[in-house]
Amino acid sequence: EAEVDFGEVWCYLDGALTKCWMFVMRLSASGKGVHRIYATQAQEAFFDGHDEAFSAFNGVPTRIRYDNLKPAVARVLQGRNRDENERFIALRSHFGFDSWFCIPGIEGSHEKGGVEGEIGRFRRTHLVPVPAAVDLAALNEACRAGDAADDRRRIGTRSTTVTEDFAAEAGYLRALPAERFDTARYLPAVRVDTKARVCVRQCHYSVPARLAGRTLSARLGATFVEVLEGSRTVARHTRLVHRGESHLELDHYLEVLFHKPGAMAGSVALAQARAAGVFSATHDAYWAEARRQLGDGAGTRALCEVLLLHRRLPAGAVTSGITGALAVDSVDPKVVGIEARRAADGHSGDAEIIPIGTAAAADSPAPPPLEPYDALLGRGDEEVAG
């Protein structure tokens, strides 16, 4: 058996104090717990917490105790009867566990006492002072480290550690299903605006510019947003935390910027690419040299052609290609492409030089003897004379 709680915690995300939500699942017998932090208390985060916990346990408890959380309960009925959310029923059916809901209010406050106060205990033990991280992924790495430390502790007056108790409890867990459960929420219609963005939960995410004005679909996960054209993924972004934020990928606008090179320097997509390290100092050096040799417009178009190489080649190979081209004072995108493909194929440094004369002498076959031809000519003369 296990117990679940979902409560708020405060964290500094990328320098901003942000209210987040901690999902906790705790096994009742051993006390082993899994803690994960999300930007929302929505159903997709609730489901992702279950998936993370079951993966950490490498099994599924037969019964889980809950408060009357909205992601699970559509309506509270009489007694312990609940009208459960359809997606929550699908989650239970997939993993094969039973749900058990507490009585609402103070009467049921003691019914999952093992997990009550667990969020506060974990925060005071592992997240003090207020944790600061670049993003939720880094914050959850700290939570995993805290879980590992908790596995070595002894609860109360027990003589055994959590890890030792879990070793005995693990045999009673159900096996994980062979297929993963899709924890994301499906959004059947998202409209692409004139700036090639879709709006999901009051945040904007870019898609390829050719899709402007189209209606697409999306999958909204706890940590990601995936935009689909039919069954094909056309964009995938890390889910944004604060309302009104936007995430624009420079790659989505390259075709537009090729025809409007003057818009490159002041674009939000370029600023975000620089901040993320995707547009590196090597790219900036190439752009500056291309504009010096070709002019602003033509130099920026050359940069766009080079950036398009990232769609087919690894980032490291393209960077090596730029470095190789600049080393010979060339800003031709074709030269960058040749050098990038050489780097991708594992060829680095100067090519081996083979003297043509030596190679020709080694590869040229010996000339054929002419005596057989003379014999044939002689035989032909004898036949004519006869």
Is 376 part of a structural domain of the chain?
A: no
Rg of the chain over Cα atoms, rounded to whole angstroms, equals: 32
Question: What mean pLDDT comes out for the span 236-257?
Answer: 95
Q: Do 63 and 26 sit in the same domain of this protein?
A: yes
Q: Do 31 and 111 sit in the same domain of this protein?
A: yes
CATH number, domain at 56?
3.30.420.10
> Are 181 and 193 in contact, with CB atoms under 8 Å apart?
no
Is 370 part of a structural domain of the chain?
A: no
From CA 304, how far away is CA 261, in angstroms rounded? 9
> Are 4 and 68 in contact, with CB atoms under 8 Å apart?
no
Q: Do 198 and 235 sit in the same domain of this protein?
A: yes
Supply the range of the domain harboring residue 77.
2-172
Is 350 part of a structural domain of the chain?
A: no
Final residue belonging to a domain, choices 212, 244, 276: 244
pLDDT tens digits for range 147-190: 999 999 999 889 999 999 999 999 999 999 999 999 999 999 99
Closest among 34, 27, 47, 36 to 90, alpha carbons compared: 47
CA distances from 148 to 31, 98, 141, 153, 344 (A): 13, 27, 11, 10, 39
Q: Do 10 and 155 sit in the same domain of this protein?
A: yes
Q: Do 85 and 204 sit in the same domain of this protein?
A: no
Final residue belonging to a domain, choices 199, 223, 244: 244
Q: Do 309 and 219 sit in the same domain of this protein?
A: no
pLDDT tens digits for range 255-296: 999 999 999 999 999 999 999 999 999 999 999 999 999 999
3-state secondary structure of 319: helix
Q: Do 165 and 285 sit in the same domain of this protein?
A: no
Residue with token string 């979902």 = 6
Q: Provide long-range contacts, Cβ within 8 A and 24+ apart, for 76-82.
A: 76/104
Is 276 part of a structural domain of the chain?
A: yes
pLDDT tens digits for range 103-132: 876 666 667 777 878 888 999 999 999 999
Q: How many domains does the chain have?
A: 3
Strand pairing partners for 232?
A: 229
Question: What mean pLDDT comes out for the span 316-335?
Answer: 95
Looking at residue 83, its pLDDT comes to 86
> Are 92 and 69 in contact, with CB atoms under 8 Å apart?
no
Q: Do 156 and 260 sit in the same domain of this protein?
A: no
Q: Do 132 and 270 sit in the same domain of this protein?
A: no
Q: Do 240 and 286 sit in the same domain of this protein?
A: no
Is 375 part of a structural domain of the chain?
A: no
Q: Do 168 and 225 sit in the same domain of this protein?
A: no
Fill in the amino acid letter for 223.
Answer: T
**Model confidence band, residue 363 (pLDDT cutoffs 50, 70, 90):** low
Q: Do 269 and 316 sit in the same domain of this protein?
A: yes
Is 354 part of a structural domain of the chain?
A: no
Hey, what are 29's tokens?
């017998």
Sort strands 16-27 and 33-38 into parallel, antiparallel or unpaired. Answer: antiparallel
Mean pLDDT of the chain: 90
Residue with token string 């599924």 = 60
> What number of residues does the chain have?
386
